[in-house]
Amino acid sequence: MADVRNTSLETDVPATLPPGPRAPSAAQALVWALRPLGLMDRCHERYGDIFTLHVRRGRPWVFLTDPEHVKQVFTTDSELLRAGAGEANPLLVPLLGSRSVMLLDEPQHMNDRKRLLPSFHGQRMKDYGAMMSDVARAEISRWPLGEPFALWPRMQAISLEVVMRAVFEDLDSDRRERLRARVVELTDWINSPRRLALLAAFGSRTLTGNAGFRRAMSRVEAVVLEEVHERRASGMGEREDIHSMLERAHAEGGSLADEEKMRDELITMLSDGPTATSLAWVFERLLRHPEKLARLREEVLTGEEEYLDAVVKETLRLCPAVPVVMRRLAEPMRVGGYELAPETIVAPCVYLMHRRRDVYPDPLSFRPERFLTGSAGTYTWIPFGGGVRRCVAASFAQLEIKRVMQVVLSGLDLRAADSRSEGAARSSVSFTPAGGARVIATRRELAAV
């Protein structure tokens, strides 16, 4: 691990900040709430590869878009870089809970991460692949034919079903329906554009102080805990799902996880928004490139995955579901020639990194071919973040996107419902196609894939 502690700062070197807009923080917060992607684009153009925003009073956000600076953050000792996820997305603390792996610092973070990792390896991944294809087939058999509809909610339904089965493999149908309905109710409640803007501008108190949110959240928690209690009472058996793996890992550590901890761990896993967003984007982009769609469909029918893999990588590059990750400095740090003080937020910017012309020529074009010749760079292709906090489920998510695409492309003819590309709109955890990726489906043959 690189140790970038700037010991000289502890004595007499004054802290400095990279340049950035001078507007008052309230104004910056407003623009961040309404047009975050445009704001990042403009700042990058005007101030260069490292710039500062003042969105939350008293704590500057330093955006990093240079691969070397991003590498520095992802390889620095994680004791020095605290979880900043709550800064980037104020929804996370009230939703996931303060003891979620995403929000914990070391050493607890690493303990939690180790408990999760076995759920995303080896035979588990093979089993997930078949389950993902089954879920996709069942869902697309319900899609309308010959009329426009938005793909995003349909992809949300698939990814929710997939993650529910990965967490609790054998939920009884009544409980499964209740969990599904309540998660949808909670997600819909959060996803109103007015609430999302308030959340981005004023932070988590917008939710914690709101009775509607607390009610919707507690209805989800109640079903999750009902299942946990029942399984604990009847014995965990031989199940291999994520809940069972977590219970076993806690037991090996000497005690059962308390209820709140288990709640945070399970809700974190069930709150997968980025996969559905990425699935919506992959079709939104592909349907505007008929020659690429044709090439992919041809490949899918032969069972190969080379071009499919490139399409997925290119979508995650151009439309990253998580546009920025954040860390809070526990100690001074020197980066890009600036002396950053403790409590500063450093923000490797996925969105801007993926649009660097020197790394990705013609960056705004959708060109999966770029990933056929070169491999994705550890510090330049970062849709899943990096370092010890890199997404634990990165392989799971990519597998899911591929399996769903294979089922859709082998069973349906899709075309875009509107000729114009869709811009990006904020959703609870990321940025989705503004129209929800509207398509028209025609032929349907649900062959096994």
Binding site for ligand HEM (CB under 6 A): 85, 101-102, 113, 163, 268-269, 272, 274-275, 278, 321-322, 325, 383-385, 389, 391-393, 396-397
Residue placing its CB nearer to ligand HEM in the complex, 113 or 295: 113
Residue placing its CB nearer to ligand HEM in the complex, 9 or 407: 407
Q: Apex CA 151: angle with CA 427 and CA 372, to 5°?
A: 90
Cβ 403 to ligand HEM shortest distance, Å: 13
Cβ 104 to ligand HEM shortest distance, Å: 8
Contact 327, 345 (CB under 8 A): yes
Cβ 279 to ligand HEM shortest distance, Å: 8
Contact 135, 163 (CB under 8 A): no
DSSP 148-205: EEEHHHHHHHHHHHHHHHHHSTT--HHHHHHHHHHHHHHHHHHT-HHHHHHHHHH-TH
**3-state DSSP assignment of residue 406:** helix
Cβ 394 to ligand HEM shortest distance, Å: 7
Cβ 321 to ligand HEM shortest distance, Å: 4
Amino acid at 174: D
Residue placing its CB nearer to ligand HEM in the complex, 29 or 325: 325
**CA 394: distance to chain centroid?**
9
Nearest to 262 by CA among 236, 239, 231, 228: 228
The Cα 62–Cα 236 span in angstroms is 46
Contact 110, 209 (CB under 8 A): no
The Cα 340–Cα 196 span in angstroms is 30
Cβ 145 to ligand HEM shortest distance, Å: 28
Q: Apex CA 256: angle with CA 225 and CA 173, to 5°?
A: 30
Residue placing its CB nearer to ligand HEM in the complex, 8 or 98: 98
Q: Over the Cα atoms of the chain, what is R_g?
A: 22
Residue placing its CB nearer to ligand HEM in the complex, 106 or 339: 106
**3-state DSSP assignment of residue 36:** helix
Residue placing its CB nearer to ligand HEM in the complex, 21 or 152: 152
Residues whose CB is less than 8 angstroms from the CB of residue 348 and which lie 6 or more positions away in sequence, other chains included: 64, 69, 70, 73, 74, 324, 325, 382, 385, 386
Residue placing its CB nearer to ligand HEM in the complex, 206 or 430: 430
Cβ 76 to ligand HEM shortest distance, Å: 13
Cβ 429 to ligand HEM shortest distance, Å: 9
Cβ 106 to ligand HEM shortest distance, Å: 11
Residue placing its CB nearer to ligand HEM in the complex, 54 or 109: 109
Distance linking the first and last C-alpha atoms of the chain: 43
Where b means 16+ CB within 10 Å and e means fewer, 371-410 reads: beeeebeebbbbbbbbbbbebbbeebbbbbbbbbbbbbbb
Residue placing its CB nearer to ligand HEM in the complex, 9 or 379: 379
Residue placing its CB nearer to ligand HEM in the complex, 166 or 340: 166
Cβ 102 to ligand HEM shortest distance, Å: 4
151-167 vs 242-252: helix crossing angle, rounded to 10: 40
For residue 142, give the DSSP letter. Answer: T
